[in-house]
Amino acid sequence: MANFGEMSGLKQWAVVVGGAVLVTAGLYFTVFKSARDQNAAAQQSLEAKQKENRELEAYRPKLADIERQLASLKQQLDIERRIVPDEKEVDGFMRMMDAEAVKAGIELRRYTAKPVAQKEFYTEVPFDVELDGPYYSMLNFFDRVGKLERIVNMSGLLVASTRKPADAKTKKTYQYAPNESVVATCTATTFFSHDMDPAGMAKPGQPPVKR
């Protein structure tokens, strides 16, 4: 085979052109094709993002309204949690009742837990309570409890004079103040959201008992 330098000018030119074609073809099927495939994939990704942005853009005018709705729902949830809290203890309920008793001017003597009742969306937590005080102060107490934001149902009310407290089925006789005229027993029922774990509450018959 003749050396490149011994070839005629036409053959030399043909060899150069052929080599260039081979190099170009090699680059096309390796570097250039890989870059083109990457560009095509990037273009597809860009078009997908642009399409997603166009779809989301339609919601931009509604964003403020959605935020207002979320704020309103959060406010409603906060109100519902105050009405029917989801806490797993009853200390807050007892403190609330004690505070209303002090404001009304009566003595709330005793809490005794009764069995809880599991409902579909909430749990009923009843307590037997015993209280005494002036007649109108007693009325004021029940009125105040009825106006509480948190739901408290008072049932099974028995009222008697301080001279015969047993008529109200009281568990114990106390040293009543001279201005106290009535004693009462009733069941105070509060409510917790259904995800409450009853095991975290006081067991029936084992409540914090006030003396």
Nearest to 152 by CA among 126, 174, 177, 178: 126
The H-or-E segment that residue 192 falls in is strand 182-193
Write the burial class of residue 91 (CB in 10 Å: 0-12 exposed, 13-18 middle, 19+ buried): exposed
Segments in 84-177 forming alpha helices (H): 91-104, 135-146
What predicted TM-score, i.e. pTM, was given to this entire model?
0.56
Q: Fill in the amino acid letter for 27.
A: L
Query: Has residue 47 got a pLDDT over 60?
Result: yes
The 3-state DSSP class for residue 58 equals coil
Structure tokens at 115: 């069995």
H/E run at residue 111: strand 107-113
The model's confidence at residue 208, banded by pLDDT at 50, 70 and 90, is: very low
> Identity (one letter) of the amino acid at 165?
P
Say what the pLDDT of residue 10 is: 61
pLDDT number for residue 172: 86
